Chains A and B, each alone.
Chain A
Amino acid sequence: MQQYVNVTIDGAKIRAIKGTSVLDTAIEYGICIPHLCHVPFISDIGACRLCIVENVVNGRSKVTTSCTLNVEEGMVIWTNTEKIRKLRRNLAELLVAQAPNSRAIQDVAVRCGVKEVRYPFRNEDCVLCGRCIRVCEEIWQARAKGFVGRGKNRHVDYVFGVRPDFCKQCEACIQICPMTIPPCDGPIKDGEEYLCGKCEAQLMITEEMPLGSCSWCKLGEGFGCGRYVGVLK
Chain B
Amino acid sequence: MPKLNSARELEHLRERLRQQRQNITKTVMVGGGTCCQASGSRAVIDAVRNELSRQGLEQTIRLCVTGCHGFCEQDPVIVIEPGNIFYCHVSPEDAFEIVYQTVMKGELIERLLYTDPVSGEKCQTETEIPFYKAQDRQVLSQNRMVDPCSIEDYIVAGGYSALARVLNNGITPDKIIKEIKESGLRGRGGGGFPTGRKWQECCEAPGDEKYVICNADEGDPGAYMDRCVLEGNPQLVLEGMMIGGRAVGAHKGYIYVRNEYPLAVEHSRTAVEQARELGLLGNNILGSSFSFDVDIARGGGAFVCGESTALMASVEGKVGEPRAKDVHTVVDGLYHKATTLNNVETWANVPSIILNGSSWFASKGTKGSKGTKILALAGRIKNTGLVEVAMGMSIHEVVFNIGGGAVDGKMIKAVQIGGPSGGCLPVEKFNLPIDFDILADAGSMVGSGGMVVMDERSCMVDVAKYFLNFLQDESCGKCVPCRLGIDRMLEIITDITEGRGKLEQLGLLEELAETVSETALCGLGKTAPNPVLTTLRYFHQEYEAHINERRCPSGVCKALITYWIDPDKCTGCGVCLRGCVHGAITGEKNQQHVIDVHLCQKCGICRSECKFDAIQVVSENEVSRCSST
Contact = CB atoms under 8 A, between A and B. Distances in A.
Interface of A: 44-50, 52, 63-65, 68-70, 83, 86-87, 90-91, 94-95, 97-98, 118-120, 127-128, 147, 149-154
Determine the interface band of chain B, counting residues with CB < 8 A from chain A. Answer: 20 to 34
B472 A91 contact: no
Interface string B502-531: 000000100110010011110000000000
8 contacts: A46-B479, A46-B521, A47-B521, A94-B480, A97-B484, A150-B474, A150-B476, A152-B473
Contacts of B474: 150-151
Most buried by A among B302, B491, B519: B519
A47 B479 contact: yes
Interface of B: 302, 304, 319, 323-324, 326-327, 472-481, 483-485, 487-488, 491, 508, 511-512, 515, 518-521
B480 A48 contact: yes
A150 B484 CA distance: 13
A47 to B, nearest CB: 5
B512 to A, nearest CB: 7
Contacts of B518: 63, 83, 87
Contacts of A94: 480-481, 484-485, 488
Contacts, number: 93
Contacts of B324: 44-46, 64-65, 68-69
B519 A95 contact: no
A152 B487 contact: yes
A153 B302 CA distance: 14
A209 to B, nearest CB: 31
Most buried by B among A50, A68, A83, A90: A90
A26 B38 CA distance: 59
B517 to A, nearest CB: 10
B312 to A, nearest CB: 16
B483 A91 contact: no
B507 to A, nearest CB: 10
Contact of A154 (B477, B511, B515): B477
Most buried by A among B324, B480, B487, B488: B480
A33 to B, nearest CB: 14
A152 B472 contact: yes
A118 B506 CA distance: 12
B548 to A, nearest CB: 20
A73 to B, nearest CB: 15
Contact of A151 (B472, B481, B508, B512): B472
Contacts of B304: 150
Given A45-B323, A87-B519, A98 B479 contact: no
Contacts of B485: 94
B481 A91 contact: yes
Most buried by A among B326, B472, B479, B487: B326
B521 A150 contact: no
B304 to A, nearest CB: 8
Given A69-B326, A87-B519, A49 B511 contact: no
Given A45-B478, A65-B324, A68-B324, A154 B483 contact: yes
A70 to B, nearest CB: 7
A124 B112 CA distance: 62
B473 A47 contact: no
A64 B491 contact: no
Most buried by B among A91, A127, A147, A150: A150
Contact of A90 (B475, B512, B520): B512
B483 A128 contact: yes
A69 to B, nearest CB: 5
Nearest to A36: B480
Contacts of A154: 476-478, 483
Nearest to A98: B484
Nearest to B476: A150
Contacts of B479: 46-49
B491 to A, nearest CB: 7
Nearest to A119: B488
Given A94-B485, A128-B483, A150-B302, A70 B326 contact: yes
A87 B515 contact: yes
B547 to A, nearest CB: 16
Nearest to A69: B326
Contacts of A128: 477-478, 483
Most buried by B among A49, A70, A87: A49
